[in-house]
C-alpha cells in the first residue's frame, strides 16, 4: 500500500478506541517504527569512484581465469608469481572463488575480520554508459528512463527531517544533514524542491574561512516576483551555510584522529605521477575527525577520480601496477586506516562505508592498455556491523551483453538494505526514497539491523515486521539478550486479540518468525511480543 493510499484511510481509524493505552485517534502521529523518524546515530559514508571502475581487474573469477585472460591478455592480473591475484576466500568452492587485485590487501585484511563485503554484478536494466547520465541514475535512485530532479538520499533526508531547511539547525540536529567533499552539491542530496539536503565543503576550516570572509549576512526581504523567489533561494542557502560553517569549525576543532593510525599518502609501487598521491586519505581522515567531534550528520560523500581508464590502465611491462592498481590501493588501504581510526575511538560500530561508480568497464581490453565503458561492476562495503562474505555469483564470462557483464543485482536492493536495515528507515521513508519495490528483495548485509542492537538492561529488543504492508505473510524480527519464552500477540485496530503464538525455550540472539496472514482481514494491526516483563510492538498493515 502506498502511503498516499494509507493516509486516505486514517480518518477511519481515528475514532476514540484504544489499543492497550494508546488512543487510536493519536495513532496517526505515534506510529513509531512504521511511520516514525529514524532514531539512531548510524552514519553512511559513500566513496564515489568517479569514472567507472574496472571491476574485472579488481575481482577476478578464478574458475574462469583462462577466459578472462583471453579477453584481456595485455592487462590481465597474473595467476601466479609474486604479484598474482589474492584468493579472497579459500573456503569457497572453485566455481565461487574470486581473486582480488594484489594491491587490495587492505580489503583482504578487513574481509578476514568480516569488516568488508563484496557485492558482485551490481547495476540496473539497460545500464547507461555515459559518465554524467550513469552517475545521475545511481544518485537519483531510478531506472534508466527516470529523470528525477532529486536524489534518493535527499528524498530520504527530507522525509526524516521535516521542515528542512527552515527549522534547522536546531538542538536536536545542529549539523548539516549531509556533507559532500568538493565544490558543488551532486544530485544525490537534491530534494524535490528547495535547498539541497547537504552542503559541499573542501575541509571544515577552509569552508569556515570562505564563509567568514563575506563579512555580511544575506538579506531577508525580497520582491514579490519570480526573481525575488530565486534571490530568496540563494540567500537562504547562504544563511544556512553561515550557520553551519561555525558549527563545522567547532566540531572539527573538538575532534581528533587516532594517534596510532597513519593514513596512506602515496602508492608504494610504479604508476603515472598523477596517480601516486592518495586523494582519499585526507577526506576520510576529516570524516573521522568530525565524527570524533560529535557531528550528527548522517551522510558523507567523498570522491576519488581517475577511474576512466581508456588508456594506460596498467604499465606496459607489468599489468599489476599502474593507474588502476594505484587507485585500488588508495581505496582499500585508506578504508582500512579509516576503520582503524574509528575503532580506536569507539565509533566503528556506527559507520557503514560503501562504494559507487557510474558503471564498470568492457570485458575485453583495448590496444591502449585500457578498457572502455561497460556495465555491471562490484560494490565494496566496509564496516564492523556487516555480515561479511560475498553476495552474488562471479560474473559469467561466457554469457555477456555485447561485450559487457550482465547485472544480476539491482543497485536499489543494496541501497534499500542500507536505509532499512542499517539506518532503520520506516516503510514511509523507504517510499520517500522511491525504493518501496525493493524492500522484500533487499540484500542481507547487516549483522544486527537497526532496532535490534543491544540495549543495556533490557532482555527484549523492539521488533519490526517485514514486508509491511503485507498480504499473505510477514516476518517478525526481534532479538533476545537471553534465552526465554516469547509470546506473539496480534491485535486488531479495536484492541481485540485475533491471534496468539507461544514460542518456548528460544535461545538468545536474533529471531525471525513467520506470521501467516490468511485469517486476517485488510486493516491495521498491532503485533506485540512479550518476553518476561518486557514488551515490544510493531504496527502491521494487512493489504489484501
Q: What is the pLDDT of residue 217?
A: 54
* pTM for this predicted structure: 0.77
Determine which of 122-136, 166-180, 232-246, 357-371 has the lowest per-residue pLDDT on average: 232-246
Q: What is the pLDDT of residue 5?
A: 36
CA–CA separation, 470 and 31 (whole Å): 17
DSSP 8-state secondary structure symbol assigned to residue 336: H
Q: Based on C-alpha coordinates, what's the Rg of the chain?
A: 25
CATH: 3.40.1840, 3.30.750, 3.40.720, 3.20.20. Which one for 43-149+256-438? 3.40.720
Q: What is the pLDDT of residue 487?
A: 84
Is 201 exposed, middle or buried, given 0-12, 13-18 or 19+ CB atoms closer than 10 A? buried
CA–CA separation, 143 and 147 (whole Å): 9
Chain centroid, CA 512 distance in Å: 23
Task: Answer whether residue 58 shows pLDDT above 80.
Answer: yes
> Which backbone phi and psi does 133 adopt, to 5 degrees?
-70, -40
Give the C-alpha distances (Å, rounded to integers) separating 521 from 151, 471, 542, 544: 37, 9, 7, 8
Q: What is the pLDDT of residue 123?
A: 98
Q: Is 306 helix (H, G, I), strand (E, B) or coil?
A: coil
Average pLDDT, the chain: 85
Is residue 460 within 8 A of residue 482, CB to CB? The reply is no
Q: What is the pLDDT of residue 4?
A: 33
Task: Answer whether residue 29 shows pLDDT above 80.
Answer: no
Cβ neighbours, 10 Å, residue 431: 20
Q: What is the pLDDT of residue 194?
A: 75
88 or 511, which is more confident? 88
Among candidates 522, 539, 526, which has minimal Cα distance to 472? 522
Residues 6+ apart with CB under 8 A from 424: 33, 38, 39, 40, 42, 449, 450, 451
Mean pLDDT of 356-369: 98
pLDDT digits (tens, 9 = 90+) for 429-459: 899 999 999 988 899 899 876 644 433 334 4
Q: What is the pLDDT of residue 10?
A: 32
| Torsion of the alpha carbons at 386, 513, 41 and 241, rounded to the nearest 10 | 100
Q: What is the pLDDT of residue 7?
A: 33
**Strand order of the sheet with strand 86-87?**
59-61, 98-100, 86-87
Cite the residue boundaries of each domain of the chain with CATH code 2.60.40.3080.
3-39+451-542
pLDDT digits (tens, 9 = 90+) for 411-431: 999 999 999 889 988 888 899
How many helices (H) and strands (E) the chain has is answered by: 13, 21
311 or 470, which is more confident? 311
Is 235 exposed, middle or buried, given 0-12, 13-18 or 19+ CB atoms closer than 10 A? middle
Q: What is the pLDDT of residue 36?
A: 40
For 107-118, letters b (16+ CB in 10 Å) and e give bbbbbeeebbbb
Write the DSSP assignment of 347-390 as a string of letters: -GGGEEEEEE-S--B-SS--TTS---B-S-EEEEEE-TTB--EE
Strands 460-466 and 473-480: antiparallel
Cite the residue boundaries of each domain of the chain with CATH code 3.40.720.
43-149+256-438
pLDDT band at 203 (very low <50, low <70, confident <90, very high): confident
Determine which of 205-209, 296-300, 508-512 has the lowest per-residue pLDDT on average: 205-209
Per residue, the 3-state secondary structure of 215-270, as one string, reads: CCCCCCCCCCCHHHHHHHHHHHHHHHHHHHHHHHHHHHHHCCCCCCCCCCCECCCC
CA–CA separation, 312 and 51 (whole Å): 14
* CATH number of the domain located at residue range(s) 3-39+451-542 in this protein: 2.60.40.3080
Determine which of 7-11, 43-47, 253-257 has the lowest per-residue pLDDT on average: 7-11
Is residue 454 within 8 A of residue 526, CB to CB? The reply is no
Q: What is the pLDDT of residue 244?
A: 85
pLDDT digits (tens, 9 = 90+) for 316-348: 999 999 999 999 999 999 999 999 999 999 999
Q: What is the pLDDT of residue 433?
A: 97
- Backbone torsion region of residue 173, taken as left when φ is above 0, otherwise alpha when ψ lies between -120 and 50, otherwise beta: beta
Is residue 134 within 8 A of residue 360, CB to CB? The reply is no
Q: What is the pLDDT of residue 201?
A: 87
Determine which of 163-167, 284-288, 360-364, 453-457 has the lowest per-residue pLDDT on average: 453-457
pLDDT band at 13 (very low <50, low <70, confident <90, very high): very low
Q: Can you say whether the dihedral through the CA atoms of 294, 299, 304, 305 is positive or negative?
A: negative
Mean pLDDT of 513-521: 89
pLDDT band at 202 (very low <50, low <70, confident <90, very high): confident
Amino acid at each position: 500500500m502506498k502511503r498516499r493510499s494509507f493516509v486516505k484511510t486514517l480518518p477511519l481509524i481515528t475514532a476514540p478506541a484504544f489499543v492497550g493505552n494508546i488512543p487510536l485517534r493519536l495513532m496517526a502521529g505515534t506510529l513509531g517504527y512504521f511511520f516514525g523518524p529514524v532514531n539512531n546515530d548510524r552514519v553512511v559514508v559513500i566513496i564515489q569512484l568517479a569514472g567507472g571502475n574496472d571491476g574485472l581487474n579488481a575481482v577476478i573469477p578464478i574458475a574462469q581465469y583462462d577466459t578472462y585472460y583471453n579477453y584481456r591478455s595485455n592487462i590481465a592480473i597474473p595467476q601466479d608469481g609474486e604479484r598474482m591475484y589474492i584468493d579472497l576466500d579459500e573456503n569457497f568452492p572453485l566455481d565461487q572463488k574470486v581473486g582480488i587485485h594484489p594491491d587490495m590487501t587492505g580489503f583482504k585484511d578487513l574481509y578476514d575480520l568480516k569488516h568488508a563485503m563484496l557485492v558482485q554484478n551490481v547495476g540496473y536494466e539497460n545500464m547507461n554508459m555515459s559518465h554524467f547520465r550513469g552517475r545521475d541514475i545511481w544518485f537519483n535512485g531510478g531506472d534508466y528512463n527516470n529523470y528525477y530532479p532529486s536524489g534518493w538520499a535527499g528524498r530520504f533526508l527530507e522525509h526524516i527531517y521535516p521542515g528542512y531547511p527552515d527549522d534547522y539547525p536546531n538542538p536536536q540536529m545542529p549539523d548539516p544533514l549531509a556533507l559532500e567533499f568538493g565544490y558543488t552539491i551532486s544530485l544525490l542530496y537534491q530534494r524535490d524542491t528547495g535547498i539541497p539536503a547537504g552542503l559541499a565543503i573542501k575541509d571544515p576550516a577552509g569552508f569556515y574561512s570562505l564563509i567568514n570572509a563575506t563579512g555580511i549576512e544575506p538579506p531577508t526581504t525580497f520582491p514579490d516576483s519570480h526573481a525575488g523567489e530565486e534571490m530568496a533561494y540563494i540567500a537562504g542557502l547562504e544563511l544556512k551555510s553561515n550557520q553551519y560553517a561555525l558549527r563545522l569549525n567547532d566540531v572539527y576543532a573538538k575532534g581528533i584522529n587516532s594517534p596510532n593510525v597513519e593514513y596512506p599518502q602515496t602508492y608504494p609501487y610504479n604508476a603515472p605521477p598523477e596517480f601516486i598521491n592518495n586523494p582519499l586519505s585526507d577526506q576520510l581522515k576529516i570524516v573521522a575527525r568530525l565524527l570524533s567531534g560529535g557531528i550528527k550528520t548522517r551522510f558523507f560523500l567523498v570522491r576519488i577520480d581517475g577511474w576512466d581508464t581508456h588508456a594506460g590502465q596498467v604499465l606496459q611491462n607489468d599489468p599489476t601496477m599502474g593507474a588502476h592498481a594505484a587507485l585500488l590501493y588508495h581505496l582499500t588501504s585508506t578504508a582500512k586506516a579509516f576503520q582503524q581510526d574509528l575503532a580506536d575511538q569507539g565509533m566503528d560500530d556506527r559507520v557503514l562505508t560503501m562504494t559507487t561508480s557510474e558503471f564498470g568497464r568492457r570485458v575485453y581490453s583495448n590496444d591502449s592498455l585500457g578498457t572502455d565503458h561497460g556495465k555491471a561492476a562490484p560494490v565494496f562495503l566496509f564496516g564492523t556491523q556487516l555480515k561479511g562474505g560475498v553476495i552474488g555469483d562471479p560474473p559469467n564470462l561466457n554469457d555477456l551483453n555485447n561485450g559487457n557483464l550482465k547485472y544480476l543485482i539491482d543497485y536499489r536492493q543494496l541501497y534499500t538494505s542500507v536505509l532499512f536495515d542499517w539506518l532503520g528507515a520506516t516503510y514511509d521513508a523507504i517510499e520517500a526514497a522511491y525504493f518501496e519495490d525493493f524492500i522484500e528483495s533487499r540484500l542481507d548485509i547487516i549483522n544486527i539491523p537497526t532496532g535490534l542492537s543491544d540495549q543495556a538492561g533490557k532482555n527484549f529488543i523492539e521488533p519490526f515486521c517485514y514486508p509491511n504492508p503485507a498480504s499473505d505473510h510477514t516476518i517478525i524480527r526481534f532479538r533476545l539478550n537471553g534465552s526465554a519464552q516469547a509470546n506473539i500477540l496480534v491485535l486488531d485496530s479495536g484492541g481485540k486479540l485475533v491471534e496468539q503464538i507461544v514460542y518456548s525455550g528460544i535461545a538468545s540472539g536474533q529471531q525471525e518468525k513467520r506470521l501467516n496472514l490468511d485469517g486476517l482481514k485488510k486493516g491495521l494491526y498491532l503485533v506485540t511480543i512479550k518476553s518476561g516483563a518486557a514488551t515490544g510492538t510493531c504496527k502491521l498493515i494487512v493489504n489484501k
